[in-house]
Amino acid sequence: MAVNRSSNVNTDSMYATIVQLNDRWTEETLPRQLNDAGSKYDGGVIDPACGIPLPNHNATPSVMAVWAASLVNPDSRYYRDAGLLESLDRASAYMLKQQHADGTISPGWTNYHSPPDTGFIVAGMAQFYRLLAAEAEAWEPLQPTAAKVRLFLERTVPAMLTGGCHTPNHRWVMTAALASLHELFPNAALLDRSEAWLAEGMDITEDGEWTERSNGIYNAVSDIMLYHTARLLKRPELLEPVRSNLRMMLYLVHPSGEIVTDYSGRQDFGKIHHLSNYFLIYRLMASHDNDPQFASMADYAARTLEQPGGVYNNEAVAYRLFPELRQDEIERAPLPEQYEFILNATYPAEQLLAQAQQAGHQFRIQHSRMHTEFGAPVVRYRDGETSITMMSETSSFFSLRHGKARLLGVQLSSSFSPGIVPMQRLIRTEQGTSSYRLYAEVDKGYNGTIPAELLPESSRSEMSPWYLLPHQHRPMTHSQTHRVQVDVQGVDHLTWQVRVSSDSPEDVFTQIAFIFGEEGQFVVEAGDKESVLQQAAPHAQFWKQGCVRYQVGEDRIELEAGAHEHTLTGVRDIQHPSGASSLLVNLITPFEHTFTLRLS
């Protein structure tokens, strides 16, 4: 049975909540503005993480969006506030000082003179500029500030026309920025550049997964940026991948509201993220499509709005810019809480990776990565308060949430490679719907001699540098294959078995790490404790035998069948994560070992 989590949130209360939040953020951020006329940072808003103002989309421009939304909204207690206007004007001057001669900004963390990071700002600043320009027609004191914002945007045009990017989602940031600039400064070249990015095609699977598999951050970026691109360029077909991803995300949320980030290809990997970044795009698409589930997800996401998002994703700006958001008569549909399916089950990963061999890039791209794990299968299982993820092509192959109890991941490491062994394939077996197999094959050999006719001239000199030799021509010798298989079986809705096996080669040191949230505690029978658990590292214990219970309040996960066939605390350079508590099970090939997990 699915439960409606929207709690009948209505538009008037939603709008009022957003206005109140924005006023609160205005109040909290005003004291952080630097007031030092002799400093190049004067007028910027201090970033708490580094102690100085930064011009990136999550820093001063994000705060400017908050202030602008308060300043122009008659329902805000800061409406046309002279002090707030002065602060916004000084922040606008700061942004002009931070803007390089080429029109870009440097965000502060990396990416100096960055077109895509400038694009994030353009996509958001263009939105609140429209609010400022409209208000300035009736309130003359606002005109100089609006002019500064417009000047900043105009100066970005050359960089947006010529600038490149790093990551897949940056392309849609650039199209949104280009379309936004074209609305303000009509120029056919802006449209041509946007079309050039769009001509590369949409990097999304049939099931709605973007290249970076970043449920916590970059899904929402691609979605909102393509929404604005579609709106401004009048390209409604660009909303289809947005819909696809938003539908996928219905099933990528744990019972607590935490997003599944266990297999992300970006910096949200394994971190706690909630739905706040998705609120605006769910709300906009719910209004556009009259979609009951999108409306319910927007309501659900609204509960997690705690801090202002990026400048491009400000809710208070959007509610002023798109007044139709307040006219909400959309029915709410229950959100799914019971399901089991394989995401990307039909995605032809192997065929497409084979085609990549002919692309000519040799799987190398400057200042970025290929994301060859894109489209790898992921199993999502949900039964009320129990949420399970199984995944391939990532460091962990299994994770579980049961109420407040969090098994963050299960990793397998071996001395063969050495290091963590990602599962390469994931399939459903014929034993039942909750029965899956994951496996990996890793080859490793030795490099033979380079044929004499292929040796360079340097090899016949007194000194022959290793890096000048054509290593690609070395034949492989004594190649070995290491095979690992994991079978996961749901015995019933409270019992799961994980069987791990490997038969070759012999005597491979293997370690299985069960990584739990640090908020819980491990419990064993008092008389057996020393024989069951032994401290191995600051955040890890050997699970030598028997049963262990992990407990957070009333929620428990009981694990059966530890093992301790060797005494290595880690395989080569494996580091056990801080902020977590790990149980280490040590095995030596050949082995076939079954773990049983029982839920309270």
- The pLDDT tens digits of the residues spanning 506-563 come to 999 999 999 999 999 999 987 778 889 999 998 999 999 999 999 999 999 999 999 9
Answer yes or no: is pLDDT of 108 > 90. Answer: no
pLDDT grade for 272, boundaries at 50, 70 and 90? confident
C-alpha–C-alpha distance, residues 113 and 290, integer Å: 41
Q: Which of 50-64, 250-264, 367-381 has the lowest mean pLDDT?
A: 367-381
Query: What confidence score (pLDDT) does residue 361 get?
Result: 67
Name the band, by pLDDT with cuts 50, 70 and 90, for residue 8: very low
- Tens digits of per-residue pLDDT, 382-405? 999 999 999 999 889 999 999 999
pTM equals 0.91
Confidence of residue 425 (pLDDT cuts 50, 70, 90): very high
Which residues are 580's β-sheet partners? Answer: 517
Cα 168 to chain centroid, rounded: 13
| Predicted confidence (pLDDT) at residue 10 exceeds the cutoff of 70 | no
Query: What pLDDT does 285 receive?
Result: 97
pLDDT digits (tens, 9 = 90+) for 163-188: 998 888 889 999 999 999 999 999 99
8 A C-beta contact, residue 284 and residue 298: no
Q: How many CA atoms lie within 13 A of 283 on its CB side?
A: 31
Nearest-CA neighbor of 132 among 117, 116, 144, 114?
Answer: 144
The residue-averaged pLDDT of 374-378 equals 83
pLDDT value for 525: 81
Rounded to 5 degrees, φ, ψ at 312 are: -80, -5
What is 11-28 written as a DSSP string?
Answer: HHHHHHHHHHHHHHHHHH
The lowest-confidence range among 263-272, 453-462, 552-561, 577-586 is: 263-272
- Mean pLDDT of the 78-107 span: 97
pLDDT exceeds cutoff 60 at 15:
yes
Kindly tell me if the per-residue pLDDT of 9 is higher than 50.
Answer: no
Calculate the alpha carbon distances from 14 to 69, 313, 440, 523 in Å: 16, 16, 48, 44
Please tell me what DSSP assigns to residue 109: S
Q: Is the pLDDT of residue 5 over 60?
A: no
Residue 597 pLDDT > 80: yes
- Supply 483's token pair: 């095979």
Please determine, for residue 302, whether its predicted confidence score (pLDDT) is greater than 50: yes
| Structure confidence at residue 327 (pLDDT) | 84
Residues 317-327: tens digit of each pLDDT: 999 999 989 98
* pLDDT score at 125: 98
> Residues of the chain with pLDDT > 70: what percent?
94
Yes or no: say if 157 and 180 are a contact pair by the CB < 8 Å rule: no
Which residue would you say has higher pLDDT here, 328 or 362?
328
Determine the pLDDT at residue 2.
40
Q: Evaluate if residue 264 carries a pLDDT over 80.
A: yes
For residue 505, cis peptide bond before it (omega within 30 degrees of 0): yes
pLDDT at 347: 76
pLDDT digits (tens, 9 = 90+) for 346-365: 877 777 777 777 766 665 76
Contacts of 485 (CB under 8 A, 6+ apart): 437, 438, 439, 500, 501, 502
**Strand duo 555-560 + 495-502: pairing:** unpaired
- Give the residue-averaged pLDDT of 90-108: 96
Confidence at 371, pLDDT banded by 50, 70, 90: low
- Angle, CA 395 vertex, CA 393 and CA 401 arms, to 5°: 105
